[in-house]
């Protein structure tokens, strides 16, 4: 998912290794879906079961096309205030908005009650084992009651109207804070006043999301990748699978029980780091796929990557070769996440 490039300006809290890198202000695309037919709108575009979401519960979902390809990945939350709150990749903002606007016009032409509101907020991602402890000092509510993939609107360090969502793109506990753009710098400064908090740039976030086995949109998944190929079949709601009423269902649903031409896998190797577009070869030297993301793992002290290979080469432990700098080196298919995730649940 392209959170690493466009989801939120990241702040790190000490825990897993955070390699230093310059930070820049970034924001995902935030939208409210309004009206009685808001769920109908979203379910006409995404693969998830939006109707089953409890108040303030969110889910990762996917925009798909009729060929089964992934147009974007996004988080949809059933806001208790009576709308759906959606955050998608800023790099896909224009095409996502056009997709939704076209569907809104279609539903409205048939008497549907639905509308869109683009939210001009910034996003700050506070990530790490101590994230909740740091944030608790600036909010009135008990964050222990806010588990992974739930959210609430609250005042944060004196800034009203912030939506705090227990999620992130690092595999660690943390939150993403939707904050009015004019108050974003003030809130960031308030968080950075705690000595446990550091600015963390895109290189830090990319290594963390890769260690957690999370996709980057445009690299690991795109409009030519189906959810099943990308290891995201779990995002398909059970009811939606049975109804086959989302774009590309005729292609995607049969793949859940049938054969797919390729699968996303994790890879580890010694030597030079594997990078995007590095060819993946069988042990006999035949090119069978390509790396989509790769970097040295600060936590594991070895190189990790993701890529696509035919199903017969996708089992963990399968020995392969990867071509790096025109040299072949040994690699092994590995289970993901490479580093265990640490999401906060109430279990």
The string of DSSP letters for 156-224 reads ETTEEEEEEES--SSSSSEEEEEEEGGGHHHHHHHHHTSTTEEE--HHHHHHHHHHTT---BTTTB-TT
Contact 166, 150 (CB under 8 A): yes
Q: By C-alpha distance, which of 194, 176, 173 is closest to 184?
A: 176
Distances (CA, A) of 241 to 59, 70, 264: 16, 16, 21
* Residue 271 C-beta-side C-alpha neighbours within 13 Å: 14
Closest CA to 157 of 182, 189, 128: 189
Residues 159 and 56: their CA atoms lie apart, in Å, by: 20
Q: How far apart are the C-alpha atoms of 254 and 251, rounded to whole Å?
A: 6
Query: Is 81 annotated to bind ligand?
Result: no
What single string gives the DSSP state of each residue in 33-47? EESTTHHHHHHTTBS
Three-state SS at 67 = coil
CB 27 within 8 A of CB 81: no
Query: Whose CA is closest to 319, among 288, 275, 340, 297?
Result: 288
Q: Residues comprising the binding site?
A: 176
Which residue ranges make up the annotated binding site for substrate?
Answer: 176
């Amino acid at each position: 998912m392209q959170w690493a490039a466009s989801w939120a300006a990241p702040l790190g809290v000490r825990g897993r290794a955070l390699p230093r890198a310059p930070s820049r202000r970034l924001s995902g695309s935030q939208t409210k879906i309004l009206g009685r037919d808001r769920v109908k709108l979203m379910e006409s575009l995404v693969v998830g079961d939006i109707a089953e979401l409890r108040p303030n519960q969110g889910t990762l979902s996917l925009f798909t096309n009729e060929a089964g390809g992934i147009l974007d990945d996004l988080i949809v939350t059933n806001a208790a205030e009576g709308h759906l709150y959606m955050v998608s990749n800023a790099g896909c903002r224009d095409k996502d908005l056009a997709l939704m606007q076209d569907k809104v016009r279609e539903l409205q032409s048939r008497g549907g009650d639905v509308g869109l509101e683009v939210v001009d907020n910034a996003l700050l991602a506070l990530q790490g084992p101590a994230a909740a402890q740091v944030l608790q000092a600036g909010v009135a509510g008990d964050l222990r009651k806010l588990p992974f993939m739930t959210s609430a609107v609250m005042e944060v360090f004196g800034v009203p109207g912030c939506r705090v969502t227990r999620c992130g793109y690092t595999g660690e506990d943390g939150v993403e804070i939707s904050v009015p753009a004019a108050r974003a710098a003030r809130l960031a400064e308030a968080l950075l006043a705690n000595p446990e908090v550091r600015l963390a740039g895109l290189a830090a976030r990319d290594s963390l999301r890769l260690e957690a086995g999370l996709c980057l949109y445009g690299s690991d998944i795109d409009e030519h990748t189906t959810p099943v190929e990308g290891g995201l079949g779990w995002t398909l709601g059970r009811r939606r699978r049975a109804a086959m009423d989302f774009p590309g269902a005729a292609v995607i649903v049969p793949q859940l029980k049938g054969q797919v031409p390729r699968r996303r896998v994790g890879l580890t190797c010694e030597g030079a780091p594997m990078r995007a577009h590095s060819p993946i070869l069988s042990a006999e030297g035949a090119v069978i796929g390509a790396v989509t993301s790769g970097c040295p793992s600060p936590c594991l002290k070895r190189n990790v990557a993701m890529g696509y290979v035919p199903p017969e080469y996708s089992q963990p432990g399968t020995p392969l070769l990867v071509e790096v700098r025109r040299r072949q080196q040994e690699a092994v298919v590995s289970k993901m996440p490479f580093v265990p995730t640490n999401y906060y649940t109430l279990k």
